[in-house]
Amino acid sequence: MSISTEQAAEALFSTANLYTSLNYAVIPVFGDAAPDRAKVAALSWKEFQSRRPSALELRRWFLEQHFGGLAIVTGRISRLLVLDFDDAALITKFEQRFPHLTSTRIVASAGRGTPHYYYALPPSLSLSSHHAAGVDLLADGAYVLAPPTTIAGKNYRVRRGGLPLLLTERDAARLVDFVREQAARTPAPVPPVLSAVDHPPAIIAAATPAAAIPDRPRPQLTPAQLITNYQHLAPRIGRNQALFQQALAARDAGWSPSLTLLALGDRHVAHPAGMSHKSETPAQRQREAQRTIASAFSRPPRRAQSPAKLPALPGPLREALLQRGEVALLRVLDALTMQSVAPGTLLTEKAIVTALAGSIGRHSILKALRATLPDGQPIFVPQHPSPATPSPADAAIAVTAFPEQTLLFVGETEPNKKRGRPPQQYHMPDPAALCQALKLPCIPGDALQPDDLASVRRYRQGVHRGLIARRPGLYARDWLANRLGITARSLQRYRQDARICIKPVFREYAITWHTLNMIPDPAPNGGVFLEDDTGRRYPALRPLAQKLLKQRRKLRCLYQCENYYSLAEAAISAAPAALPTPLKPALKSLPAAPITVFNAPPAAPLTVVTPLPAARPPLVLPAEPLKLITTDNSLRIAMPPVPPADKAPPARYYRRPLPDAAHEALAQQVYTALRACVPAEGPKTGYTSLAVTRRLVDRYRPRLVERALATLRQRRHLRNPAGFMCTWLRGAARAAHHTCTPNAAAL
């Protein structure tokens, strides 16, 4: 390998590390290493939309595998939005319309030299990518090639340096509207007419024919389901990957390659292309679809599995019906599905009430039987519509042999004949058919417990708990509430009952004279604040930040992101008096790279857990805040706050001696010292009981109580010694949690 190639690899590696220190998710592209795929990602980059690569991965990509370029994943993971222009007229129009948005970081592309405008997204804002002729808005689900990537001998270069401008929600909406206006003015490409049945391409004819597939039971797959699933997956995982997955499903269902191309080819051509394929013509996309389908059919179908009975309804169907308020219908469907009732089974109202007795009432069952689809079709389809009640004359005509004569007598009722109408029978709905009718993907949902069907509240809690248990992470509270069809305030009340732990997450930026634009202007109502080196917080105002910087204060701007939701498997006890021995070497051997807690799994946040004695009930503490350090290599340990009074043991617990003999001796010592401070004559002020002193020793650290006792003995003529000691302990505990240093953790 030549020296220039080694230097290029070193430059890519060092720049990738620099981007990672700015909290950008970096992925490799082929670049000049593969000119025909220069802008294509060199690996599957789906996982890097939710996490950032490690230093070892960067070293392997650029120093060992020698990929020729790099790209930055835009959107939520990098808090980056890029406006990519390809038309000079649109650039002039944008600069004239939004002059205040041009003072940001600008990168010139390697091809035409058109600008890429970089913007920083606020933590509370999440945008999807938008594409139009001549301009692309790259956010979630996209990436942008960045310097020093080289394409065909030309480099991506920085035209205007500095940090990206922090967008406000109003400016972000303006950018989205600008791109949508250009997309509305551009006519959609007309896909070419292709008859894959009459004239199959040669590349598909060479694939495995349908006759070579052995006869075996195959899953049923309709064209509508195939198209619906493709349209659902394409915006999320990419159109090529979605086409490949649906081609595999069609192959396993016994379809031929030509029929698969006929069903999905036009959809694939008409789907908006990503930033790396935006210059493709419809004919090129059609050939791409042919190659993708041929690749899926190049191997024999997967072995058919026995149709497993779903333990629960499909997840998208649950969410759609929850948003419509059809909770009674969902409870009935889930209960019947748990009892292995097959779709199409005939059921009567009495049979359903008997089967679901004790979990779902008759009123909810009747409401579910009357539920309909948006087009008015019943969900529980009746077997036969109820006939109209016959009149007495019609009943007489039916039993007489001379209907033209005047009827004087009515025939007798047959013996052992049941009177009244026969019971109405209903077909058990098919969840897959309901998903198809509502245009939803049929994806299995989270399993629920029978106790979750007892009420509407418990059902919503079960659905909410299933999502958090399956995929803990960062979620917006409004999105979770809208998913369940409730308000955000109701969702907060579900926290304790559903055993959900919520951790506030903050993103932190260092504020200097050069980074004042990280403070939003105008100041938002909440979620953003300033913090100095002493821990004091201020409103997020630029004039106030300038005043503090003149006073040589070290400032940080903290943005509150979406909360981190996880399932509470067990109660977390109080933090110990000092860091345990296995954790102390870990703090000394931390890597030099910034510690990223933003995308850590639920077990990653530093929470010290110590089992309590069996005689003492466990304490449940609120989750400690996690802070993402972005500018330095320090580690901030967020100590858990003092447990609130409603989470502490009951008062009668402290009427008995404490389980720890040393704690009990300290409580007796504090009690004796407080009693000695009470004057023998006069009003008995500052008196306390032994139970209160035990609670103080149990709530605060023994070392902290000993310091408070030493301070108490130095003070004289205290009017309320017990109140003084409680106040001193409370203030010292807050100061210890406020500094958040390993030394303070030993208090």
399 or 443, which is more confident: 443
Pick 320 or 576 by higher pLDDT: 320
SS (H, E, C) 382-403: ECCCCCCCCCHHHHHHHHCCCC
Q: Compute the average pLDDT of residues 502-508.
A: 79
Whole-number pLDDT of residue 106: 92
| Pair (153, 247) in one structural domain | no
14-27 average pLDDT score: 88
Same domain? 173 vs 124: yes
Q: How far apart are CA 164 and CA 144, in angstroms?
A: 14
> Who contacts 152 (Cβ-Cβ below 8 Å, separation ≥6)?
32, 35, 38, 110, 111
Dump pLDDT digits (tens) for 561-583.
778 888 764 333 333 333 333 33
**Other CB atoms within 10 A of residue 189 CB:** 12
Average pLDDT over residues 587-612: 32
pLDDT at 116 (0 to 100):
93
- Considering the domain architecture, whether residues 39 and 133 belong to the same structural domain is answered as yes
Confirm whether 408 is domain-assigned. no
Question: Is residue 35 located within the same domain as residue 164?
Answer: yes
Q: Is 628 helix (H, G, I), strand (E, B) or coil?
A: strand
Give the integer Cα–Cα distance in Å for 79 and 505. 14
pLDDT digits (tens, 9 = 90+) for 530-551: 988 888 889 989 899 989 988 8
Encoded tokens for 662: 């040393």
pLDDT of res. 311: 60
The predicted pLDDT at position 405 comes to 52
* 243-284 per-position pLDDT tens digit: 898 888 888 888 888 888 888 888 888 877 655 555 678 888
Residue 577 shares a structural domain with residue 672: no
pLDDT for 82: 93
- Final residue of a structural domain among 296, 316, 334: 296
Q: Does 122 fall in a domain? A: yes
Q: What is the mean pLDDT of residues 55-62?
A: 88
Count of helices and strands (H, E) across the chain: 24, 22
- Please tell me whether residues 233 and 162 are part of one structural domain: no
626 and 662 co-located in one domain: no
Q: Which of 202-211, 354-363, 499-508, 685-694 has the highest mean pLDDT?
A: 354-363
Higher model confidence: residue 518 or residue 657? 657
d(CA 542, CA 538): 11
* Same domain (yes/no): 735, 603: no
| Whether pLDDT at 310 is above 90 | no
Query: What ranges make up the beta strands (E) of 41-124?
Result: 69-73, 80-85, 105-108, 115-120
How many percent of the chain have pLDDT more than 90?
A: 5
Residue 708 in this model has a pLDDT that exceeds 50: yes
Mean pLDDT of all residues in 654-680 = 83
Does one domain contain both 673 and 638? no
pLDDT at residue 138, rounded to an integer: 92
My answer on whether 533 and 653 are in the same domain is no
Both tokens of 13, joined, read 């590696």
Give the residue from 309, 305, 306, 327 showing the smallest Cα distance to 318: 327
More confident residue, 220 or 198: 220
> pLDDT by residue (tens digit) across 427-467?
889 888 888 888 888 888 888 888 888 888 889 888 888 88
- Phi/psi for 165 (5° steps) reads -70, 135
Does the pLDDT of residue 623 top 60, yes or no?
no
Lowest mean pLDDT among 408-417, 549-558, 614-623, 694-703: 614-623
Whether 47 and 178 share a structural domain: yes
Residue entry with tokens 């946040």: 605
Q: Has residue 436 been placed in a domain?
A: no
Distance CA 253, CA 210 (A): 11
- Residue 47 is given by DSSP the state G
Considering only the C-alpha atoms of the chain, give the largest distance between any 2 of them, rounded to a whole number of Å: 120
Which whole number is the average pLDDT over 97-117? 88
Within a domain: residue 513?
Answer: yes
Q: What is the mean predicted confidence (pLDDT) over 61-70?
A: 87
User: Positive or negative CA dihedral for 686, 690, 693, 699?
Assistant: negative
Tally the residues of the chain. Answer: 747
| 13 and 54, same domain (yes or no) | yes
pLDDT range class, residue 107, cuts 50, 70, 90 = very high
Pick the last residue of a domain from 185, 212, 233: 185
Q: Which of 326-335, 496-505, 601-610 has the lowest mean pLDDT?
A: 601-610
Whole-number pLDDT of residue 514: 80
* Per-residue pLDDT at 603 exceeds 70: no
pLDDT averaged over the chain? 74
720-735 average pLDDT score: 82
Which residues lie below 8 Å from residue 12, measured CB to CB, with a gap of 6+? 62, 67, 69, 70, 148, 149
| Cβ atoms of residues 62 and 88 within 8 Å | no
pLDDT in tens, 338-378: 888 888 888 888 888 888 888 888 899 898 898 998 888 89
Query: What is the extent of the structural domain holding 716?
Result: 649-746
SS3 for 117?
Answer: strand
Q: Is 213 a member of any domain?
A: no
Whether 242 is in a domain gets the answer yes
Residue 674: half-sphere exposure toward Cβ, Cα within 13 Å: 28
Domain boundary among 271, 296, 321: 296
The residue among 395, 624, 400, 325 whose CA lies nearest residue 502 is: 624
pLDDT over 50 (residue 651): yes
pLDDT at 119: 93
Distance, CA of 267 to CA of 188 (rounded, Å): 13
- Kindly report which listed range (122-126, 208-212, 704-708) carries the lowest average pLDDT score: 208-212
Which pLDDT belongs to residue 636? 37
φ, ψ of residue 258 in degrees (nearest 5): -65, -40
pLDDT, residue 231, reads: 76
Q: How many domains does the chain have?
A: 4
Distance CA 495, CA 501 (A): 7
Would you state the pLDDT for residue 337? 86
Residue 534 lies in a domain: yes
The pLDDT value recorded for residue 415 is 55
CATH number reported for the structural domain that contains residue 169 in this entry: 3.30.2250
Is 34 contained in some domain? yes
Most confident of 125-134, 415-424, 499-508, 614-623: 125-134
Q: Would you state the pLDDT for residue 563?
A: 81
